[in-house]
Structure formats: structure tokens, C-alpha cells
Amino acid sequence: DHVYASGTIIANEEAELKAEASGTITYIHLPEGKFVKAGTLLLKVNDADLRAQFDKLNIQLKLAEQNELRQRKLLQINGISQQDYDIIRANLYSLKADSAFHQAQITKTEIRAPFDGVIGIRNVSLGSYLTPAITVAQIHQIDPVKIDFTLPEKYSSLFKEGENIHFKTEGSVTDYTAKIFVKDPKVDINSRSVRYRARVNNQDKQLSPGAFVRIELSLHDNRSALFVTTEAVIPVLKGKKVYVIKDGLAEERMVETGLRTEDHVQILSGLVAGDSVAVNGNFQLKQGSSVKVVGSSQK
């Protein structure tokens, strides 16, 4: 009555921290194994040359703004031509664009935390030369965490988004419950399996990304699975049938079956949840037979 699978814990979010600019590291704040907030400045590359150019541009920009204001007033009294004013205004806009570009270049010398998370082991030191190819560290968001696992194709109709899974980590007796939040829409053509992901809270930080987990899924707890006892299903020439009891009378229903357990069989079509089916003596029943109900099988 259960399906078992193996899975892997992965971080809710994770990223490699890399600089967009090359240069000597002048500031470093990478607290290994510690939590940092999104936006925290983690590392900075030498930006002295860029800042000098930026400051020079800002001086030129300030003068250009003052000149544009004077020329605009002259234009209003026809003191200069429209063409001359347009040249001055274009120069102002060009300086503004240059200033914004240099500001962006300065920003590229910084590495900030992209989201709340825990810093992994750092790979650089203060004073070392950094290039965009170097990963300075990784950042992991570990509350919540995700569970990555696969199930055989034959179970793909049973487990969907919103279903719960139960799992344990290697060497632990603690039971955890996670909720499936995504199911891959395609079947892997090599393994004939479907990939799933579930999410679970991890406030106590006991679940580590990369860890192996053993997963258990209950067929009968599954909201989308419909099962009846094996005795209720009668093999016939054209397939399989059951007898549904309505108002004390037997009604024959052809059904399509799916998975089997030791004492239950899945009904894929022909029944709906809440139907009462005959279990004992159903081989003697016919369409319209009078039935005395002493129990019911409704799943």
C-alpha cells in the first residue's frame, strides 16, 4: 500500500558568487556557514580608477547642467539659435549617460548577497586578484529546502502537486513530511520515470542540501487515487466489472484497473468516490439483483 523512492535534499535557492569585474580584492565579508541578508555587501574589488573617472565626469556634468540652464534662458529671448542649444543639450545627455555607465561599472566591482542565505566555504582571500571566472563562494537558502526524487511512470497519475510525502534522512529516525509542489510534465525516455520536487520547512537546519533521503508515499492517503478491495473486481470476457449498490439493487459497472496491492486494486475509470460496491457474493449477482447491504467498500 506504499510506494518507496530515494531522493536528494537540495537548497531552496543557491548561487555561485562571482564578480563581474577583475581586480584586487580590497574588502571581503564572507562569513562561512553564517546567515546573511539579501543585499549584504560580501566582497569588493579595487575601484579607485573607476571612481576617479566617475568623479571627473560628475564635475563635467555639473558644469554642463549649469551651461544648459544659461543657454535655455538665452534661447527663450532668442539669444542663441535652436541648433546651438540642441548641441549643448545633447552634450549634457551624453555626460549623464557616461556617468550612469561608470556608476554601473563601479557596481560590478561589488558582490552582494542575491537572497537571504548561508555562505559556504570561501575560495579567495583579501588582496588576491579576482576575475569573473573565479567562484568566491556559494550561497544557499536552506529554509525551506526541496526534495528532488523520481517515481516510475506507472505511478505518475497517482501523485500530483499538493500531495504529501514522508521521508527520513540517512542515519536518522526522525520522520519529515514534505509537500509536492512541482511534477515534471514529461517522462524520462531512458528511465521511464517522472521527476518530482517537494518542499519542507527547515527552521532547525537539520536537513542539509545534498543529503540522501528515503521517501515513502501512501497510496491510500493519496487524494487522487481510488481503490477497492480485490474481491470486488470480477474478471469478464470484455475486461473487469464491479457491482455498485444503489437503492438496494445491483448495478453492473465495467471498470479499468490500475495498480494492485496485496488486498486492493486501483480503479482508473468506472467508479467515483463514494460508490458502494459489492464484495461478498458478487459472483452470484446480476444486473438489478436485490441486495442486502451489511457493509460497504468506499474509497
**Which sequence spans correspond to the domains of the chain?**
2-11+145-218, 47-108, 227-284
| pLDDT tens figures, 156-212 | 877 889 989 999 998 888 999 999 999 999 999 999 999 999 999 999 999 999 999
Q: What is the pLDDT of residue 299?
A: 43
The fold of the 2-11+145-218 domain, in CATH, is Elongation Factor Tu (Ef-tu); domain 3 (2.40.30)
More confident residue, 101 or 283: 101
Q: What CATH number does domain 227-284 carry, 3.90.1720.10, 3.40.50.150, 2.40.420.20, 3.40.50.1370? A: 2.40.420.20
CB–CB of 39/107 below 8 Å?
no
The residue whose grid cell reads 542575491 is: 114
- pTM comes to 0.70
To which residue does cell 470484455 refer? 238
Q: How many angstroms separate the Cα of 298 from the Cα of each of 43, 227, 251, 263, 295?
A: 62, 8, 15, 14, 10
Nearest CA among 254, 218, 158 for reference residue 277? 254
Determine the pLDDT at residue 193.
94
CB-CB contact of 253 with 243 (8 Å): yes
In sequence order, what are the beta bridge partners of 252?
243
The answer to whether the peptide bond before residue 114 is cis (omega within 30 degrees of 0) is no
CB 139 within 8 A of CB 36: yes
> What's the CATH number of domain 47-108, 3.40.1000, 1.10.3470, 1.25.40, 1.10.287?
1.10.287
